[in-house]
Chain A
Amino acid sequence: MGGNFALGYLTFMLEGALWTVGLSLIVLAWGGALALVVALCRISGLAWVRTITALYIQLIQGTPVLVLIFLFYFGLPTLLGWSLSPLLAASASLSIYVSAYLGESWRGSIQSVPKAQWETAECLGLSRTQRMTRVILPQAIRIATPPTVGFMVQIIKNTSLASIVGFVELVRAGQIVNNTIFQPFAIYVLIAALYFSMCYPLSLLSRRLETRAGDKSYA
């Protein structure tokens, strides 16, 4: 193996890792907002809203994230007439991917709030909106927290695909460094280690929250 792994390369890759975190947070925020809409539409009183949302979820869950990214980065500009930056294309497509998976997971959390809670709220004369915001969602958030923290790991891992359209996050930063020193195996080991150090704490936290939620179960 030739070449030196200078400190400059390491800082460059750490900057890339910071972008991985940044992109993950953007995707979590936008994807989470969309997911809430998806979850509420899935339990809407209107049948056609439920059907369309179910179809949306089926379509997104049946398409690879990579194809979604390509669709936004290469496909959308031909429709819009202007090009999307890698950051915009990646965050938009990843948010849509997140909305389908997290939306379906959150729908489950909302529906697993015991039926008596819905009925009691109705008996107390709360409107549908009040019932949702004051009674159901606060309890659903508690149920949804462990799987959502677990899903953060999926988000972080999937941001690596943004490297393919040229967004300089951790993987792309590593590839750029590799172009100068050509030690692909060592660099990918380092990339993997950095991803592990970001994802493993979240995995542990999700597992701990899950066991704690199990103790407090009242359903």
Chain B
Amino acid sequence: MLSLQDLRLPAGPGRGETQHFDVLMELGDCHAALGELEQAAACYEEAADLAPGRADPHVGLGVIALQDERPDDAERCFQAAAGRDADCAEAYGGLAMVRQQREDYAGAFDMHLKCLELDTDNLVALLGLFQMSCQMGTFAKVIHYLELYLQRHPGDTSVLFCLATLYAREGQLGAARHCLLSVLALEPDKAEARDMLRQVERKIAPALAPDARSA
């Protein structure tokens, strides 16, 4: 039997607390995507006024400042976002970009890591971390995050390829070969994967040869 509590009115999503904010954020995102940075900034600013405690408008403003090549403003915006929400992964991702632009690779690496701690699915941070690792020559941490990401997105060939590169650099040739075979299973025409597989297998062959002889 239906209770009175079940007879609540079918309304829209909630009371509409965030509706105006959502519209402004979406407007900002669309303007930004179309390169209309001034209009986008105006929308994000209005959203920030409407919901002063929210981090996302400041992330939007930070991204615009980055695109505008104003790293100091961008940093201020991302700091403001992180100050409002310590768990805002995008804020740390933005700060990483700022540091990257300033060629502060160690700082960027830390920020990418922080971003990935909060959001292991963040592909931008993951690839940023990969780039920073290549710059700095340290791969252990990035391998861990790439593996985590691939557990959730096993079909992402670009990340699989990055991981294969890192395994190869670390000398884990078997793991690298396995990744590359997976990439080619999904994208048989990916030439760079085929080339790299050939190189990896060439390196593996001498190591396998004594075993083969004994067999």
Answer whether A and B are interacting partners. Answer: no
Chain A residues in contact with chain B, CB under 8 A? none
Chain B residues in contact with chain A, CB under 8 A? none
